[in-house]
């Protein structure tokens, strides 16, 4: 075998005769190694942890990378890096659970530079405005655009019928684009009004979402039930909007070793109230689970409302411990009383609704709770309110078991009368008193969600016979608050 000899030691160069001494390297007044770093270090996960490659609507991507990209596209100069990262960490942790991974993002600051976290995300005011996407160069007559600024849960509303404003570098609207289809984060559409600017990659801001009226719940079958797939498929057929899917699962149907059937979250955690009697047939289990599956479908529909965008209505909310209301928190022990502080930063009044979604997928309306007058007062412009009302009969106390609770904050320029009338009928049928929250059961979650969309949008058919709700973000917006419930107090 040939042996590769070691490299020869470097030789010291000799100076030619008569040469002048070199001036040497320039002197540095301060060693580079001791100069303070002017940045912040972001980590997708902690040490000895995995980073999730999470499923989205029709593709996979790194959970932290996708959410960070969206956060930077949506970044508001008034938001600090610390605020951006705190919400990013919560969202990443929640999303990673769908891939059954515990992921806890981290960030670090240089010594003596703690104030960096209180600066804007880019440490300066960006040259271009925030946006949801950008038009890409294409040789086709169909416009092609990238949608990295869209919230993951809202992706189903960006297939057909969504509309965007085409803006210049100063945020001025130059035209409108209507979406016709999407593949992953690449959208396709046609120019509706105006003309394309000559700038490279014109920016897009969302104006209208096309929420599919026939959106389905994707049900996964665990290996314990693979032999019953045909039976389960047949049992689901009359339900219409619940289908067995191979991936991008919203909820799993499983069978335990004790032969009880129930539901699992995408991360594999059980929905305790979903498990039935021993030796139950799959057909009987589907019949029993139908109300819970409908509630989970309503949750998916509400999630398509997504989060605040760069254009349209704005909404801000914080979660507080009632005993220590000075700090926004997202993790509390069971038994703690909390409240939601909602701020209306718009120049018009905003009607607010709070919907809690527990770990079993059950929906409860926390506000408004005046089931008699149906005339809740909106939040005036630039004002903040606390919900539930401090002096009201209902106290928002976090109950065990440990897990995650979502509070969806809806803000609308309209009083949502259709939804409120439906809620009043439910409240009367269940003898729920005004001031108390209303838990939705059976087909009520789907019906109330339908009434909510009808209050602020129209239902119409577009290309390829797709029926959608066109939800204008200048009339309705939402904000999702994920709250972690830990062990008891």
pLDDT of residue 288: 95
Q: 109: Cβ–Cβ under 8 A, 6 or more apart, which residues?
A: 40, 41, 116, 117
Mean pLDDT of 474-482: 86
133-212 and 217-295, same CATH topology: no
pLDDT of residue 35: 56
Give the C-alpha separation, 162 to 142, whole Å: 15
Q: 271: Cβ–Cβ under 8 A, 6 or more apart, which residues?
A: 251, 262, 263, 264, 265, 292, 359, 360, 361
- Express each pLDDT in 63-111 by its tens digit: 888 888 888 887 777 778 888 888 788 788 877 876 677 888 888 888 8
Label the pairing between strands 106-108 and 60-62: unpaired
Q: 191: Cβ–Cβ under 8 A, 6 or more apart, which residues?
A: 143, 175, 176, 177
Which of 38-42, 182-186, 271-275 is predicted least confidently? 38-42
According to CATH, the superfamily of the domain at 217-295 is: Lipoprotein like domain (3.30.160.150)
DSSP 268-308: S-B-GGG---TT--HHHHHHHHHHHHHHHHHHHHHHTT-S-
SS3 475: coil
First to last CA, the chain: 71
Query: Is the predicted pLDDT of residue 278 greater than 80, yes or no?
Result: yes
Strand partners, 41: 108
Give the C-alpha separation, 130 to 77, whole Å: 9
Give the C-alpha separation, 397 to 378, whole Å: 24
pLDDT of residue 12: 41
Predicted TM-score (pTM) of this structure: 0.82
pLDDT of residue 179: 95
Mean pLDDT of 361-385: 88
Compute CA distances 16 → 12, 13, 20, whole Å.
13, 9, 9
CATH among 3.40.50, 1.10.3470, 2.40.10, 2.40.160 for 133-212: 2.40.10
Query: Is the predicted pLDDT of residue 379 greater than 90, yes or no?
Result: yes
Q: What ranges do the domains of the chain cover? A: 39-118, 133-212, 217-295, 316-488
Give the C-alpha separation, 350 to 429, whole Å: 29
Query: How many CA atoms lie within 13 Å of 351's alpha carbon, on the beta-carbon side?
Result: 20
Compute CA distances 485 → 104, 358, 396, whole Å.
16, 11, 13
pLDDT bin (cut points 50, 70, 90) of residue 314 is confident
Architecture of domain 39-118: 2-Layer Sandwich (3.30)
């Amino acid at each position: 075998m040939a042996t590769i000899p070691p490299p020869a030691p470097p030789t010291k160069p000799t100076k030619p005769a008569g040469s002048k001494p070199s001036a040497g390297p320039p002197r540095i007044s301060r060693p580079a190694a001791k100069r303070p770093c002017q940045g912040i270090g972001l980590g997708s996960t902690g040490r000895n942890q995995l980073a999730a490659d999470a499923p989205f609507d029709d593709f996979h991507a790194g959970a932290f990378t996708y959410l960070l990209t969206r956060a930077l596209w949506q970044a508001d100069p008034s938001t600090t890096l610390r605020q951006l990262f705190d919400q990013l960490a919560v969202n990443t942790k929640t999303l990673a659970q769908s891939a059954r991974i515990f992921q806890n993002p981290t960030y670090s600051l240089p010594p003596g530079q703690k104030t960096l976290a209180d600066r804007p995300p880019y440490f300066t005011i960006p040259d271009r405005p925030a946006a949801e996407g950008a038009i890409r160069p294409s040789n086709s007559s169909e416009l092609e655009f990238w949608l990295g600024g869209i919230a993951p849960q809202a992706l189903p509303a960006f297939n057909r019928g969504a509309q965007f404003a085409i803006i210049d570098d100063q945020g001025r609207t130059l035209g409108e684009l209507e979406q016709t289809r999407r593949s992953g984060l690449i959208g396709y559409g046609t120019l509706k009004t105006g003309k394309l600017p000559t700038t490279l990659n014109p920016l897009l801001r969302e104006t209208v979402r096309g929420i599919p009226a026939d959106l389905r719940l994707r049900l996964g079958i665990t290996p314990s039930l693979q032999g019953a797939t045909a039976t389960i498929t047949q049992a689901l057929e009359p339900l219409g909007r619940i289908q067995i899917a191979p991936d991008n699962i919203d909820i799993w149907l499983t069978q335990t070793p004790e032969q009880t059937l129930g539901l699992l979250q995408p991360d594999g955690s059980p929905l305790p109230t979903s498990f039935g009697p021993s030796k139950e047939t799959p057909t009987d289990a589907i019949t029993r689970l139908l109300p819970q599956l409908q509630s989970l479908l309503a949750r998916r529909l509400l999630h398509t409302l997504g989060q605040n965008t760069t254009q349209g209505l704005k909404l801000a909310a914080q979660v507080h411990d009632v005993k220590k209301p000075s700090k926004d928190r997202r993790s509390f022990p069971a038994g703690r009383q909390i409240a939601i502080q909602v701020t209306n930063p718009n120049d018009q009044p905003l009607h607010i609704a709070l919907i809690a979604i527990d770990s079993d997928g059950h929906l409860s309306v926390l506000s408004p709770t005046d089931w008699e007058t149906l005339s809740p007062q909106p939040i005036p412009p630039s004002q903040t309110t606390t919900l539930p009302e401090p002096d009201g009969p209902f106290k928002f106390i976090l109950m065990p078991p440990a897990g995650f609770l979502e509070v969806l904050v809806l803000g609308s320029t309209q009083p949502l009368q259709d939804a409120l009338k439906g809620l009043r009928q439910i409240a009367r049928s269940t003898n729920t008193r005004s001031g108390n929250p209303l838990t939705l059961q059976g087909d009520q979650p789907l019906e109330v969600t339908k009434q909510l969309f009808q209050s602020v949008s129209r239902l119409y058919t577009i290309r390829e016979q797709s029926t959608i709700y066109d939800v204008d973000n200048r009339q309705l917006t939402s904000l999702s608050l994920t709250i972690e419930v830990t062990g008891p107090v």
